[in-house]
Structure 1
Amino acid sequence: MKKLEINTVLTVFESIDELPEQVKELMKKAVTARNNAYAPYSKFRVGAVLQLENGEIIIGSNQENAVYPSGLCAERVAIFQAGTQFPGEPIKIMAVSAASDSFNVLTPTPPCGACRQSIYEYEENQKTPIALYFMGETGKVVKADSIKDLLPLTFGKATLNNI
């Protein structure tokens, strides 16, 4: 037996004001998108904004449904929309912001596991990392240089091709 050690390095900004100007503008759009989320059940609103290599901006917000599995997270709304509108166009940056109608979300909120897997699929297909910035309502912003920083043991094409 041997142990496998996995290390992740993330960058933490004290506030949105410390972000590079381009990312700051994307995060502001993510905040606006989260305010437009349809979240009548969880009261947890998330906005996600993508910047594609061609400069296009794609916006998504979580969309809930009374049949919970039928809803979709903001990150997947945005990434699937990018894949539909601009197939094959690499995603450079994703900015995500979360808030709740019931409490203050002061901790940077990363994508859920299903969203991480979906982001990984796109990152794997484009063969370049997607810079991922995430925050709560206010306060610190965390940057991962690649989704692999948040999902280090990936499941993708190579896994399926070895079966």
Structure 2
Amino acid sequence: MKTIKIEATLAVYDSVDELPKDVMELMSKAMEARSKAYVPYSNFSVGAAILLDDGEVVLGNNQENASYPSGLCAERTAIYYAGANYPEAKILKMAITAGSRTQPTITPIPPCGACRQAIAEYEVNQNSAIEIYFMGETGKVVKANSLADLLPLGFDKSFL
């Protein structure tokens, strides 16, 4: 038997104010998207903003449905929109903010597993890393240099 150790290095900013200006603006757009989320069941809203290599910014927010599996997370809403409308563009950065409408959310909230897999698909296809910044409503912001930092040993097309 052999043991494998997997490590990830993430940067943690104390607040949005510490972010580089372009990321601060991207997170602001994610916050705006979060405010428009349709979350009548969970009261947990998420906003995402994606910066493409052509300068375009794509937004997404979570959309719920009474039949829970029919909804879609903010990250996948944004990334699929980017893929459908800007298929040749590379995704450079993604900003994500999440919060409860019933209690303060100050802990950084990373993408769920399904969103990580979707982001991984785009990162593998474009053959370049996507910087991912995530936070709650306020407080610390975490930066991953690549989706691989959040999803080690990922599954992609090379296994098929």
TM-score past 0.5 threshold: yes
Where in structure 1 are there 5+ consecutive unaligned residues? none
1:11-160 correspondence runs (5 A): 11-160=11-160
Aligned partners of 2:88 and 2:71: how far apart in 1?
25
Match of 2:3 in 1: 3
SS of structure 2 residue aligned to 1:81:
helix
Distance in 1 between residues matched to 2:139 and 2:101, nearest whole Å: 17
For 1:107 and 1:97, the matched residues in 2 are separated by 10
Secondary structure, counterpart of 2:60 in structure 1: strand
Query: 1:88: Cα distance to partner?
Result: 2.4
Query: 2:43 and 2:4 mapped to 1: Cα distance?
Result: 39
Taking structure 1 as the reference length, the TM-score comes to 0.97
The answer for unaligned runs of 5 or more in structure 2 is none
Equivalenced residue count is 160
Q: Is 1:116–1:150's contact at 8 Å kept on the other side of the alignment? A: yes
RMSD (CA atoms): 0.5
**TM-score normalised to structure 2 length:** 0.99
Q: Which runs of 4+ in 1 moved over 4 A?
A: none
